């Protein structure tokens, strides 16, 4: 099995495996060739982590998947061939072609820290896809709103007027202590769960504590350095959330969104 597995490594480009296979032959490579091969192996591992190319086919990544827990990235089809070959040769565990870490699942369709899929992998490369999130299902829905650049259309029956939405923003009714949880949830969806929100929260609160109406344009300009294209979407949602008497759950239940091209659609449509 070891020789057959080494042949497969060699065929699909694992430099370290090729070196090990050749090292067992009578004609060992000279020191320079060994050093060059070691460097090539290190380069392959670095490319796999950075995600520039597939270490198996050495081409640009196609349908990239990332192995858990080592974070090496491969083409889905290439890794599928690798796993199938291991299965055919009776391997008891699946291992990463580069570092030999044992795995049974891979990340796919990674959009952000909270938006990705996990592909469960068995020894015949049977795949069961499950959407994963570091929050609940509602966090996933909120992520879709920003990722798809969806626009707020209606809040509890109140129409949001397209480009002129700032003219129809309701008077702020929420006070300090009633909006922080919503703001923190939205920011984590946009910037990730590991980012310290202290500065952003303070900046947003500065605008919320000013006399109504809120300076939406000013807040968007301040937040663009941190939230980029999501800043305008966030501020619009914020203005209508603090202008309602609804808690988070009730607000989420009565908002309607439209797609970027102008039609009204559901979040579920954009998630599929």
**Domains: count for the chain:** 2
- Same domain (yes/no): 84, 197: no
pLDDT band of 198, cuts 50, 70, 90 = very high
- Same domain (yes/no): 173, 242: yes
Instruction: Return the pLDDT at 189.
Output: 87
How does the average pLDDT of the chain come out, rounded?
75
Instruction: Return the pLDDT at 123.
Output: 56
Task: Give the long-range contacts of residues 124-129, CB within 8 A, separation 24 or more.
Answer: 124/83, 124/84, 124/87, 125/80, 125/83, 125/84, 125/87
- Same domain (yes/no): 110, 143: no
- Same domain (yes/no): 54, 85: yes
Burial of 240 (0-12, 13-18, 19+ CB in 10 A): buried
Instruction: Return the pLDDT at 260.
Output: 67
Range of the domain at 227: 137-271
- Same domain (yes/no): 141, 91: no
- Same domain (yes/no): 107, 165: no
- Same domain (yes/no): 95, 24: yes
Show which of 132, 149, 175 is a domain's final residue.
132
Report the pLDDT averaged over residues 68-74.
87
141 Cβ neighbours under 8 A, 6+ residues apart: 252, 267, 271
Using DSSP's 3-state secondary structure scheme, residue 46 falls into helix
pLDDT of 199 over the 90 cut: yes
Report the pLDDT averaged over residues 104-121.
80
End-to-end CA distance of the chain: 42
pLDDT band of 91, cuts 50, 70, 90 = confident
pLDDT band of 17, cuts 50, 70, 90 = very low
- Same domain (yes/no): 173, 229: yes
pLDDT band of 156, cuts 50, 70, 90 = confident
Report the pLDDT averaged over residues 9-38.
42
pLDDT of 208 over the 80 cut: yes
Show which of 85, 117, 132 is a domain's final residue.
132
Q: What's the CATH number where 45 sits?
A: 3.30.40.10
Other CB atoms within 10 A of residue 187 CB: 21
**Longest Cα–Cα distance in the chain:** 83
- Same domain (yes/no): 118, 147: no
225 Cβ neighbours under 8 A, 6+ residues apart: none
- Same domain (yes/no): 110, 192: no
- Same domain (yes/no): 29, 147: no
Distance CA 37, CA 39 (A): 5
Show which of 106, 132, 158 is a domain's final residue.
132
- Same domain (yes/no): 26, 93: yes
Indicate yes or no: pTM above 0.85: no
Q: List the beta strands (DSSP E) in the chain.
A: 64-67, 73-75, 105-112, 115-121, 127-132, 151-155, 158-159, 255-258, 264-265
Report the pLDDT averaged over residues 46-52.
54
Say which DSSP state 164 is in.
Answer: G
* Residue 246 phi, psi (nearest 5): -85, 145
């Amino acid at each position: 099995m070891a020789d057959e597995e080494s042949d497969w490594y060699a065929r699909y480009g694992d430099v370290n495996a090729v070196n090990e296979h050749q090292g067992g032959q009578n004609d060992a490579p000279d020191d320079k060739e060994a050093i060059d091969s070691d460097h090539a192996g290190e380069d392959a591992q670095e490319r796999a982590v950075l995600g520039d190319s597939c270490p198996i086919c050495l081409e640009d990544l196609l349908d990239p998947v990332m192995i858990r827990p080592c974070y090496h990235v491969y083409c889905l089809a290439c890794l599928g061939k690798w796993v199938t070959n291991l299965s055919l040769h009776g391997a008891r565990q699946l291992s990463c072609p580069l570092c030999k870490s044992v795995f049974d699942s891979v990340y796919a369709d990674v959009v952000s820290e909270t938006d990705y899929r996990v592909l469960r992998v068995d020894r015949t490369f049977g795949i069961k896809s499950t959407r994963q999130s570091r929050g609940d299902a509602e966090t996933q829905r909120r992520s879709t709103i920003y990722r798809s650049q969806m626009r707020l259309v209606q809040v509890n029956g109140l129409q949001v007027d397209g480009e002129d939405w700032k003219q129809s923003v309701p008077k702020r009714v929420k006070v300090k202590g009633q909006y922080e949880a919503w703001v923190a949830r939205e920011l984590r969806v946009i910037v990730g769960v590991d980012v310290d929100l202290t500065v952003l929260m303070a900046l947003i609160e500065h605008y919320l504590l000013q006399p109504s109406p809120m300076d939406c344009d000013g807040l968007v300009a301040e937040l663009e350095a941190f939230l980029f294209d999501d800043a305008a979407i966030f501020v619009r949602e914020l203005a209508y959330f603090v202008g309602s008497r609804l808690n988070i759950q009730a607000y989420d239940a009565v908002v309607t969104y439209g797609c970027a091209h102008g039609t009204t659609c559901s979040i579920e449509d954009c998630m599929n």
